[in-house]
Amino acid sequence: MTVDTTQLNRGRVFFGHSDTLWLFGYGSLIWKTEFAYHERRPAHIQGWARRFWQGSHDHRGTPDAPGRVVTLVESPGSTCHGMAYRIDTGTLGPLDVREKNGYLREQVMLHFAEGDHTEGLIYLATKENAAFLGDAPLDAMARQIAAAHGPSGSNRDYLLNLASALDDLGAEDRHVFELAARVKARQARQKK
Ligand code: BEZ
């Protein structure tokens, strides 16, 4: 089911005193930066795991055939690698619209690859949002991702771009890499 979190996010002001803030990207924000930023630094967050558990009815799927995109689930001991951007606070407005299907701004501690840390923001889609799909067998998720398309392109490209960006960062993520391998294997079998 689709949902619209744009209005809710306008009230979620965590760094009101500051002109800029750090935004941590763990999904398309790593490789699809269609927004202005001042700095970009590899970073990670602790205690969270990236999962293809959020439905995409508006970007990588449709309301009738949703795709799957990433969100984060709490996972003590896990590390999620991504890219942090220092942006003007005003840049959040268009991002709230882009990520309106269930994502809410949340404050987290970011750890930069160089060793320093700071508070920042993530967009998080919890199981309470109507577009949340949750866990499923990896093969079922791979089948859904291989088939889904939406206004922003194929769900397959979203997954493979993310896997490639994580690879470039030297980041380990078994969930993403295993899904990417299964989607590629499905398509190789279909071409035969
Ligand atoms: C991200 O890349 O961090 C992201 C992108 C869209 C929605 C949520 C997170």
Please name the residues in contact with 55: beta carbons below 8 A apart, sequence gap of 6 or more.
1, 61, 66, 67, 68, 69, 101, 102, 131, 132, 133
Reading phi first (left if > 0) and then psi (alpha if -120 to 50, else beta), residue 28 is in alpha
Q: Does the beta carbon of 120 sit less than 6 angstroms from any atom of ligand 1?
A: no
pTM to 2 decimals?
Answer: 0.92
Cα angle 140, 178, 160 (rounded to 5 degrees) comes to 90
- Extract the tokens encoding 73: 């689930």
User: Which residue lies with its CA nearest to atom 3 of ligand 1?
Assistant: 25
Atom of ligand 1 nearest to the CA of 125: 8
The domain spans of the chain are 6-191
Nearest Cα residue to atom 4 of ligand 1: 27
Q: What is the CATH number of domain 6-191?
A: 3.10.490.10
Dig out the tokens for 190 from the structure. 């279909």
Return the half-sphere exposure (C-beta side, CA atoms, 13 A cut-off) of residue 42: 11
Ligand 1 centroid–CA 74 distance in Å is: 16
Q: How far apart are CA 177 and CA 81, in angstroms?
A: 13
Strand partners, 84: 24, 41
CB–CB of 40/84 below 8 Å? yes
Contact 26, 70 (CB under 8 A): yes
Is 61's C-beta closer than 6 angstroms to any atom of ligand 1?
no
> 25 CB under 6 A from ligand 1?
yes
172 is catalytic: no
For residue 192, the CA-to-ligand 1 centroid distance in Å is 35
The residue from 99, 106, 119, 128 that is catalytic is: 99
Per-residue pLDDT of the chain (192 residues; tens, 9 = 90+): 777 888 777 777 777 778 999 999 999 999 999 899 999 999 999 999 999 999 999 899 999 999 999 999 999 999 999 999 999 998 988 887 777 788 999 999 999 999 999 999 999 999 999 999 999 999 999 999 999 999 999 999 999 999 999 999 999 999 999 999 999 999 888 887
